[in-house]
Chains A and B, each alone.
Chain A
Amino acid sequence: MPLRTSSKGSSRVNIETVARLLTIRNSPILLRLPPFVSALCLVVGIAWLFILPLNEYSRQTYVSENAILPGQVHTYFGGSEHNVFRAYRHEVYQMAQWSQADRLAAIEGIMRDIGLKSARQPYRYTVAGEDIQGTNVYALLQGPRADATEAMVLMAAWRNFDGEINHSGVALALTMARYFKRWSIWSKDIIILIPADSTYGSEAWVSAYHSTATEVTAWRNVSELSIKAGALQAAVAIDYPVGPWGHRFDKLDILYDGINGALPNLDLLNTAVSIASGQMGIGCSIHGVAAHSDSYQDRLKTLARGVMTQSAGHATGPHSAFMPYHVDAITLKTVGDGWHDEMSLGRTTESIFRSINNLLEHLHQSFFFYILLNANRFVSIGNYLPAAMLMAGNFTIAALALWLQSGRAPMTPTTKPADTASKLDGLQLEKVKLGDAVVLVPIQATKPMIRHLFLPVLAALAVHLFGVLPLKALVSLHRDYLTLSLQAIALASYLLPSLLSILLVRTLSASTQQIQILQSLSLLLLSAVLATLATLNFSLAFVVGVLAWPLAFVRPLFNPFAASMTLTSTNLHRSLLLAGQLLVTALYLALSPATVLYILTRYFDTSVQWTLLEMAKAWQIQGVYTALVVWAIWWPAWIVGGVVLTSSAWKPRS
């Protein structure tokens, strides 16, 4: 420190600075500021999302990859291809009545007839006592003049994401394969993939595609692929579950959310949208907002749905499994009643594949992080990230304030002094000698408080490690016990804070300072994780930030009827305080992870068991880490919040 300087002048300046800083450090405004700054961060962070749909904060989408040239080619899918398609659709309809073995043989037969190499891939997952098995069929169309280093995937899952049989989708994929086979312009190979199931079929296939050897475990048995091609550049899935009589659709819903909120490059989406709407005249929707009037409300609705889907992190279609492997993928889902038929969908697909075919390198030009407000309007990461960062910052500020507080000697009077004079009297001043100057500073400012870190660090660590228990239970128990275990976890979560605070305060006699440090550490960890997570999955970080907001403001409860309060407060005042504290406690309990889960299942009208089972499957099979964030990040922070809340109640009376 430059306090010991030989020059008189500079030492004076230093002393003045130090004195001023010491005064500021003790200024009552600064000490009371953090909760308000914290609250401001919270409010601004949430408000931030609401301004994003405005024109000033979002942008029209544009294709930034030069090579992709969307919609610059004539599409020739039509004419007699329509007859071929209808024939295939009838065959697919027939197949749906057959056994799985016959069906697979029939699909492979068609692929072979077209002149493609075909292969099967059986897979089996066992999660929570449930068997998920199926067999993927796929074929490889080798580009006649291609160098076999790159490939693109055309997919139609046998069953779509809603479990319907994808009659027209599969038939269209087969027709496209037959049609593509006749072109000589492919610079990449084309893989025609018919996964048995939208989520796990494509997952099994894409994971086997990217591994050299697949290990068989008790819960995972995925066969290797006998045919492989080059690096996958993009994948397009068709979801068109219409039977042999056909159905004209109104719009294409473009699904793009990947596992853990990863998104495909915006250029792929833009290409699909510009081809469908610009070249073919098919309207596009995002997140099922079909009647989008481009108003603020509709944009906000699309944004909200996008944030919800992304924060859940689960698969939304056969394309989702491709994202963790950095293969950009989308699903084209037909929605509504309109006048577009299978041929326009086919032509759209053809044009999209011609565009992907034009690529010279992996899609990289456009955004990977974006929030869509409309099929052709988006918010880029620079505009939306501050929202999540403010949420994380709110916890950081609270944590730092607590840390500072824990390092200060407690100000003696809790009651307000009657006037300024007595306030000054209460302030004990001390002489500090700096060189040849003397400064008067309050005694609290100079007295160092030793922080007893061992217990809080241990407690914080233990609580966070403890989070593994509910996670482990919910992802590995048999499905029949899932609901029960969540109930147990909910109950335990309500009791645990009190029990822990008894343990800490009574048994281990933790001081107020140590409780403050515990909370500070927990909040610091929460904010660091949320800030990091925000760059990976913005929505998840934001949603957890919103749900965990009270944790930044939790302070120990106190008894308004205690002896120290009776002197200054009226009865009414005390009653109000009590009511306020009860309200805080109720809010705290309502925002527990388990309660929120219950509320969400009620809101989305799904069963708790189904939700938990899906979460378990997503965690086990696809590595969706939402459960981890909930149980190992949010839940421990929530528990620590409860410990703080109840800590004063168990304080031994002095």
Chain B
Amino acid sequence: MRLLSLPTPLLAAISLPSLSDATHTSNWAVLVSTSRFWFNYRHMANTLSLYRTVKRLGVPDSQIILMLPDDMACNPRNTFSGSVFNDKSRELDLYDQKPDTPTQESAEGGDIATESETSETTPQIMPAGIEVDYRGNEVTVETFIRLLTDRWPASHPTSKRLLTNSQSNILIYMTGHGGDSFLKFQDAEEISSHDLADAFAQMHEKGRYNELLFMIDTCQANTMYESFYSPGVVGMGSSARDQSSYSHHADQDVGVAVIDRWTYYALEFLETRLNSTSADVRLGELFDFMTFDRVHSDAGIRADLLEGGEEAARNRRVLDFFGNVQGVDVEMGDGGRESLGDWRADLEALRRIGERTKREMGELNVTVGAGSKVSAREAGADRSVLPAMRVEGDVLDMAASTGGSGWLKKAIGGTSLLLLGAAWVAGSKMR
């Protein structure tokens, strides 16, 4: 209401960027770690780091699908039980997201109360806990493809579905052990780049995304997006064909590598450059940040599927994929007038439907009143079936008899009911 009192140019200035940028109306993130086992700690840390970031930038848990095949926090080998760290400084517990400034205790990994205490002093308080949508053996190629293409049995819970539409931007992050054009899922199976490409194509056909940013941190990661062919997909990978992706560093107390290089620097970028949900940082800057010196492998991008090519991709805001928009999708067509006409047409159609229903109801009343008419119609129907069912003469005879002796049958039925009632009364009396 207050907006109305503002000068018109200002109003235009506010609404303009939102109109030009509002190519999407919702943001979703699918974050997948594909490996289990203690020595793959870093893959879980990678994924949880990304999870934390998208959450920090405003994507609600309901729009994040998190797939974790293993539970490092509760692994007996974990020195800091109940915690997962992505840096040896252990300043940030990814598993149970406490206030950003950890207490001395949590850094030492002693006995810490796992319930997060929300202290008012810290500026950024994350909602506590993580919501894992698919865990353990649920993390399979089949689940992943079903998730993307939204092919589920009716019983599948809504919270575990990717409920996107053609106006949704999706961030897909995957990490694990991979090779040339495949990514291993839990030592048992693998997803190939073609599977992924086909899944994205299906998503496109079904109008399940507006634009899609695919990020993958694995060995020979860039081979994973080479076979994509659906428009609107931007790919980012950590290493070229025949290249390994490396871990960044190991925590000598946890005893395993805690994060991969590419993800480490992606996070560094996201943490330092995206300080607020309105940061105007472009995707191109993120691309340029992943240099060989940092990643120790040739990080790659693919943007030719996006309208406008790489230039367009570089100009996309990082928040278009990592943040969240709270737009309302009002389908307006060319202008208000026409939509009013649409409503009129809709109302007219509704009126017609109502009239038709009324008419049919009236007709039905008439037919119910004349029972003989119905039986005649039934008999007719039966007769028309006759040539096809010549063998089953008995059935037809019975059907014919039903037509003639309807009232008689009802009388017999009623009498027998009465007789049964009498017998029951007599029986109860006799006892």
Residues of A within 8 A of B (CB): 66-67, 69, 72-74, 143-147, 184-187, 354, 357-358, 360
Partner of A73, one of B39, B78, B255: B255
Which residue of chain A has its CB nearest to the CB of B177?
Answer: A66
Residues in A with CB closer than 8 Å to B79 are 184-185
Counting chain B CB atoms within 10 Å of each CB, which of A184, A185, A186 scores highest? Answer: A185
- Tell me whether A72 and B252 are in contact (CB under 8 A): yes
Partner of B75, one of A69, A74, A144, A187: A187
A219 to B256, CA, bound (A): 50
Chain A residues with CB under 8 Å of B255's CB are: 69, 72-73, 354, 358
Whose C-beta in chain A lies nearest to the C-beta of B38?
Answer: A358
Shortest distance between the CB of B95 and any CB in chain A (Å): 16
Distance to closest chain A CB from B336 (angstroms) = 63
- Given the interface pairs A69-B255, A69-B256, A73-B255, the reply to whether A143 lies near B76 with Cβ below 8 Å is yes
The digit string for B174-194, where 1 denotes a CB below 8 A from any CB of A, is 000000000000000000000
Q: Mark B25-50, 1 if CB is under 8 A from A, else 0.
A: 00000000000011100000000000
How far in angstroms is the closest Cβ of chain A from B247?
11
Across-interface contacts of B81 in A (CB, < 8 A) = 145, 184
| Pairwise interchain contact B252-A67, C-beta atoms closer than 8 A | no
Contact residue among B37, B76, B253 (Cβ-Cβ distance under 8 Å from A67): B37
B residues with a Cβ closer than 8 A to A are 37-39, 75-79, 81, 250, 252-253, 255-256
**Is A66 a contact of B253 with CB atoms below 8 Å?**
no
Between-chain CB contacts (< 8 Å), 16 pairs? A67-B37, A69-B255, A72-B250, A73-B255, A74-B253, A143-B76, A146-B76, A184-B76, A184-B79, A185-B77, A185-B79, A186-B76, A187-B77, A354-B255, A357-B77, A358-B39
Q: Shortest distance in angstroms between A327's beta carbon and chain B's nearest beta carbon?
A: 21
Chain A at the B interface: mostly helix, strand, loop or mixed?
loop
From residue B187, how far is it (CB to closest CB) to chain A in Å? Answer: 10
In the complex, the chain A residue whose C-beta lies closest to that of B255 is A73
Chain B contacts for A187, CB-based, 8 A: 75-77
B76 touching A360, Cβ below 8 Å? no
Which 4 interchain pairs have the tightest Cβ spacing? A145-B76, A73-B255, A74-B252, A187-B76
Q: How far is the CA of A244 from the CA of B256 in the complex (A)?
A: 38
Q: Are B38 and A360 in contact (CB under 8 A)?
A: yes
How far is it, in angstroms, between the C-alpha of A146 and the C-alpha of B256 when the chains are bound? 19
Given contacts A67-B37, A67-B39, A360-B37, contact A72 B77 (CB under 8 A): no
Contact partners of A354 in chain B: CB under 8 A: 255
Residues of B within 8 A of A143 (CB): 76
Measured in the bound complex, the distance between the Cα atoms of B253 and A145 in whole Å is: 17
Complex interface: chain B residues within 8 A of A73 (CB): 252-253, 255
Beta-carbon contact of B77 and A69 below 8 Å: no
A72 adjacent to B256 (CB under 8 Å)? yes
Query: How many Å from the CB of B67 to the closest CB on chain A?
Result: 21
CA distance in complex: A143, B75 (Å) = 12
Give, as a whole number of angstroms, the nearest-CB distance from B40 to chain A: 8
Chain B, Cβ-Cβ closest to A75: B252
CB distance from A430 to the nearest CB of B (A): 67
Please, how many angstroms separate the alpha-carbon atoms of A185 and B253 in the complex? Answer: 11
A143–B81 Cα distance when bound, in Å, is: 14
Q: Which residues of A have CB within 8 Å of B77?
A: 185, 187, 357-358
A185 to B76, CA, bound (A): 5
Closest to A360 in B: B37
List the B side residues contacting A184 at CB < 8 Å. Answer: 76, 79, 81
Q: Which of B37, B39, B78, B253 has the most chain A CB atoms closer than 10 A to its own CB?
A: B39
Q: Which residues of A contact B250 (CB under 8 A)?
A: 72
CA–CA, A187 and B38, complex, Å: 11
Cα(A599)–Cα(B291), bound, Å: 69
Closest beta carbon of chain B to A602's beta carbon, Å? 52
CB distance from A300 to the nearest CB of B (A): 37
The residues of A that contact B253 with a CB separation of less than 8 Å are 73-74
Query: Hey, which chain A residues are within 8 Å of B256, CB to CB?
Result: 69, 72
Q: Which residues does chain B contribute within 8 Å of A67, judged by CB atoms?
A: 37-39
Closest-CB distance, A635 to chain B (whole angstroms): 51
Q: Of all chain A residues, which has the CB nearest B252? A: A74
| Cα–Cα, bound, A357→B256 (Å) | 13
- Whose C-beta in chain B lies nearest to the C-beta of A183? B79
Q: Give the docked Cα–Cα distance between A66 and B247 (Å).
A: 14
Within the complex, the shortest CB–CB distance from A359 to chain B, in Å, comes to 9
B78: A residues at CB distance < 8 A: 185
CA distance A85 to B79 in the complex (A): 24
* Chain B residue at smallest Cβ distance from A146: B76
Q: Separation in Å of the A641 CB from the closest CB of chain B?
A: 55
Question: Within the assembled complex, what's the spacing in Å between the Cα atoms of A354 and B37?
Answer: 16
In the complex, A186 Cα to B77 Cα: how many Å? 6
Q: A74-B252, A74-B253 are contacts. A69–B76 as well, Cβ < 8 Å?
A: no
A391 to chain B, nearest CB (A): 41
Besides A69-B256, A74-B252, 8 other A-B contacts (C-beta < 8 A): A69-B39, A72-B255, A73-B253, A146-B76, A184-B76, A184-B79, A187-B75, A358-B38
Q: Is the beta-carbon distance between A66 and B39 smaller than 8 angstroms?
A: yes
Q: Hey, which chain A residues are within 8 Å of B38, CB to CB?
A: 67, 358, 360
Question: Closest CB of chain B to A415's CB: distance in Å?
Answer: 71
Chain B residue nearest to A68 (CB atoms) is B39
Closest to B74 in A: A145
Residues of B near A185 (CB, < 8 A) are: 76-79
Please give the distance in Å from B144's CB to the nearest CB on chain A. 23
Most-contacted residue by chain B among A72, A143, A144 (CB, 10 A): A72
B contact residues around A69 at 8 Å (CB): 39, 255-256
Contacts of B39 in A (CB 8 A): 66-67, 69, 358
Question: A187–B77 Cα gap in the complex (Å)?
Answer: 6
A617 to B317, CA, bound (A): 79
CA distance A144 to B78 in the complex (A): 12
In the complex, A74 Cα to B254 Cα: how many Å? 9
> Which residues of chain A are within 8 angstroms of B76 by Cβ–Cβ distance?
143-147, 184-187
* Cα-based distance from A67 to B77 in the complex (angstroms): 12
User: What is the bound-complex CA distance between A187 and B75, given in angstroms?
Assistant: 8
A72 to B77, CA, bound (A): 13
**How long is the Cα–Cα vector from A147 to B77 in the complex, in angstroms?**
12
Nearest chain-B residue to A354 (Cβ)?
B255
Tell me the smallest distance from the CB of B114 to a CB of chain A, in Å. Answer: 15
* Complex alpha-carbon distance, A144 and B206, angstroms: 51
Contacting residues, chain A, for B37 (C-beta < 8 A)? 67, 360
B249 CB → nearest A CB, Å: 11
A146 neighbours in B (Cβ, 8 Å): 76
Closest to A73 in B: B255
Residues of B within 8 A of A66 (CB): 39
> Closest CB-CB distance, A201 to chain B, in whole Å?
31
Determine the residue in chain B with the shortest Cβ distance to A65: B39
Bound Cα distance from A67 to B39, whole angstroms: 5
Nearest to A74 among chain B residues (CB) is: B252
User: Which residues on B sit within 8 Å (CB–CB) of A72?
Assistant: 250, 252, 255-256
Q: Which residues of B contact A358 (CB under 8 A)?
A: 38-39, 77, 255
Kindly state the separation between the CA atoms of A360 and B78 in the bound complex, as whole angstroms: 14
A484 and B38 CA atoms in complex are apart in Å by 60
B184 to chain A, nearest CB (A): 12
Considering the chains assembled together, what is the distance between the CA atoms of A185 and B74 in angstroms? 11
Give A646 to B297 CA distance when docked, in angstroms: 75
User: Could you say which residues of chain A place their CB within 8 Å of the CB of B252?
Assistant: 72-74
CA distance A354 to B77 in the complex (A): 9
A187 to B252, CA, bound (A): 18
A224 to chain B, nearest CB (A): 29
CA A360 to CA B37, docked complex, whole Å: 8
Complex interface: chain B residues within 8 A of A357 (CB): 77
Among residues of B, the one whose C-beta sits closest to the C-beta of A76 is B253
- In the bound assembly, the distance between CA atoms of A358 and B254 in angstroms comes to 11
B75 closest partner in A (C-beta):
A187
Query: Which residues from B are CB-within-8-Å of A360?
Result: 37-38
The docked-state distance in angstroms from the alpha carbon of A50 to that of B164 is 69
Give the Cβ gap from A350 to chain B, nearest Cβ, in Å.
12
Q: Which residues of B contact A74 (CB under 8 A)?
A: 252-253
| Shortest CB distance B110–A (Å) | 11
Residue of B77, B79, B253, B256 contacting most chain A CB atoms (<10 Å) = B77
